[in-house]
Amino acid sequence: MMRVLLRYLEGALLVTMGGAMECLALGPDYWMLLNPKYEWLTLIAACTCIFFGLAILFGGGSKPRRGRVLAGLVFVCCLALFWWGGEPVGSGQVFDTPMDPPASFSGGSEGTGPLLEQESRITHDGREYVLMNTAELITLGMQPETAPGEGFVSVRGFIVNTPELTEQGMYALFRVQIICCLADAVAVGVLVQGPAPAGDYGWAQVSGSVAETGEMAATLGDFLRGISLPDVMLTYVEPGIVLESQHAEPIEPPSFPYIFEVRYEEPFAF
């Protein structure tokens, strides 16, 4: 009897888990937990769980059994808890205001997205700057002479400062990059030469020219290894390049703060 009950309970839980995964994949909050390009994979896994769960529940013959009835009741209770079980952890904060990924997200690193070419640059004092994220700057700006926009770029992120960097007249600008989910989050930062703009949110957008740090790279590398940020698996700042600030302004954190893709040509995933 117990073995039969456990079998049907397993089936009910599989169906419940599959339903929860499907709701997550089809809902507006998926990107807060996982990379949106994996929605299709989550949907396939959800359908698989539901299929095998139903096979366990209803594949054992047509005669009703006590174990099947009890498992069905557990299944109904799980559904009731899922739909009406109260507030999720963190309610009142991020999950109370569902947000969709921005239109610039294309779903893959090879995509170009719907961003128009004229929207991929900004102008300050007659100079054009290419909009890109910190991971793209590190990837493409290792050789300043071949960096996009002749080395004139604009990035945004949250400001991190240390006494050692302040002594060098620098600070770091970070964005959190997510490959799959929050468990593999990496804070990717770039060095900025110049005073950090003061703001209420700790975020800034900096436009400037990419330059090499030269002989300072080894010393800066020692400083940067000491930077540790909460809620990320790894913190990385490239010590070999620096963004020489020509225009910096404080900004509010974007509604879509994570980096989910790295592009290799304009328009970038700013």
- What does the alpha-carbon distance between residue 236 and residue 56 come to, in Å, rounded to a whole number? 47
What are the structure tokens assigned to 63, written together? Answer: 């005669």
| Higher local confidence (pLDDT), 249 or 19 | 249
- What does the alpha-carbon distance between residue 17 and residue 31 come to, in Å, rounded to a whole number? 19
Give phi and psi for 61, each to the nearest 5: 115, 170
3-state class of 41 per DSSP? Answer: helix
- What does the alpha-carbon distance between residue 226 and residue 240 come to, in Å, rounded to a whole number? 16
68 contacts 5 by C-beta, under 8 angstroms: no
53: CB partners within 8 A, 6+ apart: 10, 11, 12, 13, 14, 15, 16, 17, 18
* CB-based burial, 61-100: b 16+ in 10 Å, e otherwise: eeeeeebbebbbebbeebbeeeeeeeeeeeeeeeeeeeee
User: Which CATH architecture is the domain 117-251 placed in?
Assistant: Beta Barrel (2.40)
Q: Per-domain residue ranges for the chain?
A: 2-96, 117-251
Residues 214-249: tens digit of each pLDDT: 888 888 888 888 788 888 888 888 888 899 999 999
Does residue 42 surpass a pLDDT of 50?
yes
Residue 133 has what pLDDT?
A: 93
| Nearest C-alpha neighbor of 12 from the set 72, 61, 70 | 72
219: CB partners within 8 A, 6+ apart: none
Residues 152-202: tens digit of each pLDDT: 899 999 999 988 889 889 999 999 998 877 777 889 999 999 998 887 788
137 contacts 190 by C-beta, under 8 angstroms: yes
3-state class of 122 per DSSP? Answer: strand
Residues 63-75: tens digit of each pLDDT: 556 656 665 666 6
Residue 93 has what pLDDT?
A: 41
Cis preceding-peptide flag for 267 (omega within 30 of 0): yes
